[in-house]
Chains A and B, each alone.
Chain A
Amino acid sequence: MTIDTQAVRKAILTPVVITSLIVGLLVGVITFGIVLRPDVTSMGNSQYNRPYPMPHQYWATTDEFYMFASGGQQGGFYVYGIPSMKYLSEIPIFATDQAWGWTPENPEVRNMFTNPWTGEIVERGDTHHPSMSRTDGVYDGRWIFINDKMYGRVARVGLDTFRADEVVWMPNITGGVHGFSVGPNTELAVLNIEHEQVPDQVIQEHLGIEVDRINGPYVAGFNGIAIDGLPGGDGTMEVAWQVWGPWHHDMARIGWGVSDGWIINTSYNSERALSAVPMFGREYDYLYFWNIASIEKAIADGKYVTTEQAPDVAVISWKDVEVYMTKIPLNPHGLDISPTGKYILTSGKATTLIVAVDMDMVLEAIESSDFQGEELEVPILTTDSVRAASMDLGLGPTHIEFDNNGFAYVGFFVDSDAKTVPLGGPYIEKHGMEPWKVVDVLPAHYSIGHISIPGGDSAQPYGKYFIAMNKLAKDTFLPHGPLITESHELFSIDEQPAVLIDQMALGPETHYSQGIPVSMITPNVRGVYTLPAETEPPRVEYDYENQVTDVYMDVVRSWFTPDMFTVPQGWQVNIHMTSQEQAMDITHGLAVDNYNVNTSIDPGEIKTIEFIADKDGVHWFYCMWFCSELHMEMRGRMIVIPQDEWNAEYEWSPS
């Protein structure tokens, strides 16, 4: 028998070759897939990588900016760190938030919630435009102000306690305010009336406009809020005046540098329409320049009226102040001033256009009466005489921010990106590029609303980071039902092209946000309130005449003193709490079972809560902030006794 070596070889060779190929492929895949797989942690620019393992306090020592993000329908602020994009805190202002002790049973909060004219307690709000206090146009880290669109209010938040300290209400309007901006020395703030009004007859007569409440045209204007904000001031706000005119106003800025002394605002409804479609009925809208000195002069000359509601607020007609306007692309939204105050950039939402108006040219045109007509007695500055550039950049332009290197950034809602544009004129020597042309595109996910660069609306932008605050997050994060969280995207703009370095989910819904260097905030942050040398001794007092029970209560780990008090049913209970804590982060709370009362009390804080003891029975109250290992035991009883059963023997006494 002969062996057909040829055949055997063939029979063995084929499977060997195939097996070798498969094994080789596997080895290759495994080698490239595992051994040579790119190390994700060392990709790209390593300065943005997280250390691994993460050392404790890494972000506390490396974050560069605090971000104060308006909360929109959340009614206050969100606070987070940049570049960590780590949520730090919330600052409730216009809406209740029991976790932060922001509830109307505390009289200080209730005062901020109370409409001064109707007495109504309002627990809703819609915060839009934060504005940092500033000195010489530069952030100074004292306060941040913000407006509530819904009710026409402005709040001041202290940047030491991160708590709202004051709320002022705009008179003569039913709310609907929008653009808000603080002046370069925190001496004045302007708040635009976006939703046109049917004001008091006194105002209509002063304006010479009779408003038909059904068919309009309505009137609007803007509020001037005087702030005790010069160095040494305490930040107290007071509505000083209102300028009324035929137009509503959307975004607002108070100029500085070249534009110092001017309030600059836009109107997307120069058509004076009362429904949406006619609001983009013509080819253009207006950018307005209001001379602040002329407003002061009108008041000095007595050219104002006051209303019964606000006898201290001067109502001024637009005819009595110096105002100019110029045509800008249809339905503008963004309105931002470059760091030196020279360029005013504004965008037409209903167009693809961004225009740069040069304030030097505006002042020259005003000087030489370079007008191309007038509308409703307001001179229109000749478009070509004031415009430095008109750029066709993309769909749905919204807001504009500036960095420290002479670039403007424009957010686009429809394009879902931001575009970087070098500014012209004196800024050219900073970047050395051909101005007014797109040099970089920052893709966002999705539909940018506002954008923010730390210091980007001031005389001194800090640059380095760009945050896109997207209106739609869609598929950016894990799905979580039909209401999708907001998306903030962090870009490094130290380099061009800019790099997306982080994405953050944040609660609804941010409008504008402002970033400020950590070094301006951290030295002043208060962790503990200093207790006075003597505090109220714990006790309970009964006032039979006014039917009030005053409970003076010490709160400290891990008990309330007294931990029991009695009260006749139907009486008012005032619990005056003193937190005897002096240690950082030891916040207590007081929640009363079945009583719609829940608040918090910070270390060293002295705080009162007031409510009516309308339900009889034994009601436990307890600490609702986890404070110590005996936190659960930190509770006490409120015993409400029907009035017909009550006698003086039930009165609390020290035992």
Chain B
Amino acid sequence: MNRKRPLKPALIAAALFLVSLPLPYWTVIMKAPTYPERNLSMRVYPTHYEGDIREWNLIGNLVGVKVPPPIPDLAFEIVPVLIVLLTIISLIAAFDQRWLAVSMIMPWILLIGLTAFTQYSLYIFGHDLDPDRPLRYIEPFTPPVIGIKKIGTLLTFHLPHVGSFLFIAASLLLYWGYRTHKKGLGKQAKA
């Protein structure tokens, strides 16, 4: 086994995980006819969320939605820890390729989990409506994690942000690293 030279793809992946930590992972952009001067936007980071929360809630009052939706915000404490963990595992895998298989699978599990959790939050967001909301003709709804939703005249675009792309790039790098490493092992074995 080649233990002397660290595996580059895993090293880069570790760096990408770390870099993505302070970056937004997901964003919602709202086009509203009463805000022609700018689109309202909100960005979700591993650690927090920010954006036009005040305006969002002022408009949301009418429909009965609330930002953030009433879900445990434990996610913002767990997710950064998991990303740091991924960084560490990738780093270990770069030097000790026995860890490669683990490091290759873990990000995908986290990604699926996060997507599911986001979709769940969005479901709660669109269904836990204030019973005293003024515009009761708006039925409960579920915005997609990725996609476009129209509520009345409000058009929202739900998109992964730069953090997610870095995360996915890192995951692909780990997979590629795993593959090339395995091939290398195969060649060694043949030789």
Contacts and interface: CB of A to CB of B under 8 A. Distances in A.
Do A and B share a complex?
A: yes
Interface stretch (B12-20, B54-62, B73-81, B183-191): B54-62
Contacts of A582: 54-55
B58 to A, nearest CB: 5
B132 interface: no
A95 interface: no
A557 B58 contact: yes
Contacts, number: 17
Nearest to B38: A584
Interface in B134-151: 134
B162 to A, nearest CB: 26
A557 B55 CA distance: 10
Interface string B149-189: 00000000000000000000000000000000000000000
9 smallest beta-carbon distances between A and B, as pairs = A584-B37, A557-B58, A583-B55, A630-B134, A582-B54, A556-B58, A583-B35, A582-B55, A629-B62
Contacts of B35: 583
B53 to A, nearest CB: 11
Contacts of B54: 580, 582
Interface of B: 35, 37, 54-55, 58, 61-62, 134
14 contacts: A527-B37, A556-B58, A557-B58, A557-B61, A558-B61, A581-B58, A582-B54, A582-B55, A583-B55, A584-B37, A629-B62, A630-B62, A630-B134, A633-B134
Contacts of B55: 582-583
Given A582-B55, A584-B37, A630-B62, 14 more contacts: A527-B37, A556-B58, A557-B58, A557-B61, A558-B61, A580-B54, A581-B58, A582-B54, A583-B35, A583-B55, A583-B58, A629-B62, A630-B134, A633-B134
A564 to B, nearest CB: 18
Interface string A614-639: 00000000000000011001000000
B175 to A, nearest CB: 45
A234 B6 CA distance: 63
A185 to B, nearest CB: 36
B190 to A, nearest CB: 68
Interface in A509-560: 527, 556-558
Interface of A: 527, 556-558, 580-584, 629-630, 633
A150 B37 CA distance: 41
Contacts of B134: 630, 633
B54, B55, B58, B134 pick with most chain A CB within 10 angstroms: B58
A403 B150 CA distance: 54
Nearest to A56: B36
A622 B134 CA distance: 18
A218 to B, nearest CB: 56
A582 B22 CA distance: 27
A630 to B, nearest CB: 6
Nearest to A556: B58
Contacts of B62: 629-630
A582 B134 CA distance: 22
A584 B52 CA distance: 13
A538 B58 CA distance: 18
A42 to B, nearest CB: 31
Contacts of B37: 527, 584
Nearest to A584: B37
A557 B61 CA distance: 9
A629 B134 CA distance: 10
Nearest to B59: A557
B130 to A, nearest CB: 14
A584 B35 CA distance: 8
Nearest to B134: A630
A557 B134 CA distance: 12
Contacts of A583: 35, 55, 58
A616 B37 CA distance: 44
Nearest to B58: A557
A584 B58 CA distance: 13
Contacts of B61: 557-558
A156 to B, nearest CB: 28
B153 to A, nearest CB: 11
A527 B36 CA distance: 14
A367 B85 CA distance: 88
A166 B54 CA distance: 33
A558 B62 CA distance: 9
Contacts of A527: 37
B97 to A, nearest CB: 51
B51 to A, nearest CB: 12
A505 B58 CA distance: 39
A584 B61 CA distance: 18
Contacts of A556: 58
Nearest to B40: A583
A583 B134 CA distance: 21
A584 B37 CA distance: 8
A470 B95 CA distance: 86
Nearest to A581: B58
Contacts of A630: 62, 134
Nearest to B35: A583
A633 B62 CA distance: 13
A607 B58 CA distance: 21
Nearest to A557: B58
A527 B37 CA distance: 11
B56 to A, nearest CB: 11
Nearest to A527: B37
